[in-house]
Structure 1
Amino acid sequence: MTGLAPRVALEVRLAVHDFLVDEAALLDHGRFEEWLALFTDDVEYTAPIRVTRKTGNPGVVEDIGWFDDNRASLGLRVRRLATDVAWAEDPPSMTRRFVTNIRIVPAEDGYVVTSNLMLFRSRGDGGTYDLVVGERTDVLREVDGDLKISRRRILLDQASLGTKNLGVFL
């Protein structure tokens, strides 16, 4: 990132901050249908794979990813979590999401919002946990007076994930 991003009005900053905090709370409390309603119908939800390469070579592979979802596939994932075949999330993970370093830039039809995400995830009674950390870039736009996510790109800070599965949303 070079230079300082253009400033947005305080009301916008607060609305975006509250939106991201509320979104994290919905996920942490397993309210997936309500979370899904935060997305536009044409959403793109991607997480390209980071690779370790020598200087001068691309460090991200955009053509493949941990996931590449649209509204329909997100809906399928949400509905699957409510069934008895979501084995990776049965019993459900205990999660806590921390969204920080929120940067907001005005865009033609909304805002480009970059934030840091840390996901704490615990499974079972063994005392083990996962930490998944990365940078999210969201495109938020107003739809019928509400902010909605029309694009989310998550770039994880790991080339190899230390978690057994990625059955949770980021």
Structure 2
Amino acid sequence: MAPEILLDMPYDTTADYFSLGLIIYRMAVGKHPYFRIGMTTKKMKRIATESTVKYPKNMDPALVDLIKRFLEKSPDLRYQLVSEIRNHPFIRNIDWAYLETGTAAPITYLRPYLEPPVHQRIELADIMSMGQGFLLTSEEQELFGQFSYTSERLRLQM
């Protein structure tokens, strides 16, 4: 959540840019840039308004710059920083006109989800291990062919 929302201040669509920055950071790094499970609301507000985000040393500098623009704490400055975002080096190769036509095919592949029977006992250890060591097939990996960043955790598994 954008700092202005956490602080119960008036907000506008620039809060959505902050949320997009959070999503991109989580996709790239694998964790939230500010919050951890068990934090109090008071601590969340303080961290979101005062702390700085830490980026992996090996992260693409263009990606770091993109995320920093979205995660700017001042809504007015955030608006200025993202006003020409389509020309940003990290995303400049996106065909925006094509996307705006609404004809771009969405990525529709979803990994099958098996719902357990209602009355079956499930052990916590089984839940915690789901997805660990699970690599994408080459067909699934092709869906991400244009991405230029791979998390350190995934690189270690490869």
TM-score where L is the length of structure 2: 0.25
Pick the structure with more helix per residue: 2
Pick the structure with more strand per residue: 1
Larger Rg: 2
TM-score where L is the length of structure 1: 0.23
